[in-house]
């Protein structure tokens, strides 16, 4: 059954974000948290990791840093997530080492996903599946790509982009469901959001 993969807002106060993150993690099964900070210097990222990483790892979830393999290795993260415009896979792998996680954004491209898997990526991410305000989407895959991938490949895949409890059933073939604003902007708070997603995932998996 698909598991939740939380992505942080790209702008946050690490101290202030600690409580919402704790609430989300304590609400149910969360496989991973990706710290995705944009436009922040290395000092800010190091500080954010030092505050948030222990909370995530203490709950047996993976702590993934977006786009900074050198800092991920330096600060004890479980791995790094890279996009197509970030450092090449080989450079990211060299930085974090053989035992850390390296995930790769592949948009809607089967070719990019196969290439990443053959290079040794620990997961590939497809999206955006639905309209999203979190970031400008480069690819717009359909659920077919998830069914195809899980049938022919063993490397896990992540579905991302505008996924809600209402539409999660359409991407239930993914190994992980990545969510950002659906968690942190939920009107009842992140704990209620996690519970809503987990319930929807369970219902979809049984249907």
Separation CA 176–CA 189 (nearest Å): 21
CB atoms within 10 A of CB 97: 12
pLDDT given at position 18: 98
Predicted local confidence at residue 153, as pLDDT: 97
What is the structure's pLDDT at 125? 98
28's torsion region: left (phi>0), alpha (psi -120 to 50) or beta? left
pLDDT tens digits along 51-70: 999 999 999 999 999 999 99
Residue 169 has pLDDT above 70, yes or no: yes
Measured between alpha carbons, how far is 187 from 16 in angstroms, rounded to an integer? Answer: 18
For residue 88, the enclosing domain spans 3-206
pLDDT tens for each residue of 135-165: 666 678 999 999 999 999 999 999 999 999 9
Asked if residue 176 lies in contact with residue 158, where contact means CB atoms within 8 angstroms, the answer is yes
Q: How confident is the model at residue 132 (pLDDT cuts 50, 70, 90)?
A: confident
Whole-number Å distance between alpha carbons of 114 and 12: 34
CB 125 within 8 A of CB 106: yes
Contact 103, 83 (CB under 8 A): no
Cis peptide before 128 (omega within 30 of 0): yes
Residue 133 has pLDDT above 90, yes or no: no
pTM for this prediction: 0.96
DSSP 8-class letter at 47: H
Per-residue pLDDT tens over the stretch 90-115: 999 999 999 999 999 999 999 999 99
Tell me which H or E stretch contains 93: helix 89-96
CATH number for the domain spanning 192: value is 3.20.20.70
Q: Look at residue 73 in the predicted model and tell me its pLDDT.
A: 98
Domain count, the chain: 1
Q: Among residues of the chain, what percentage have pLDDT more than 70?
A: 98
Q: What is the CA radius of gyration of the chain?
A: 16
Q: 173: pLDDT confidence band, cut at 50, 70 and 90?
A: very high
For the chain, the average pLDDT equals: 96
Measure the CA dihedral 185/190/192/194, to 10°: 110
Q: The tokens of 148 are what?
A: 């195809």
């Amino acid at each position: 059954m698909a598991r939740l993969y939380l992505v942080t807002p790209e702008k946050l106060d690490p101290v202030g974000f600690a409580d919402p993150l704790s609430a989300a993690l304590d609400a149910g099964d969360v496989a991973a948290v990706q710290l995705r900070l944009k436009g922040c210097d290395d000092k800010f990222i190091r500080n954010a990791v030092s505050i948030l990483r222990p909370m995530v790892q203490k709950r047996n979830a993976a702590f993934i840093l977006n786009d900074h393999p050198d800092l991920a290795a330096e600060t004890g993260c479980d791995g790094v997530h890279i996009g197509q415009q970030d450092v090449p896979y080989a450079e990211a792998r060299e930085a974090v080492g053989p035992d850390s996680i390296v995930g790769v954004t592949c948009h809607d491209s089967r070719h990019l996903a196969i290439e990443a898997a053959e290079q040794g990526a620990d997961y590939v991410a497809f999206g955006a599946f639905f309209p999203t305000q979190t970031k400008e989407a480069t690819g717009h895959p359909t659920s077919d790509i998830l069914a195809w991938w899980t049938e022919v490949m063993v490397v896990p895949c992540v579905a991302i982009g505008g996924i809600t409890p209402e539409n999660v059933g359409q991407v239930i073939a993914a190994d992980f469901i990545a969510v950002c604003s659906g968690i942190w902007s939920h009107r009842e708070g992140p704990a209620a959001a996690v519970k809503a997603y987990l319930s929807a995932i369970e219902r979809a998996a049984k249907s």
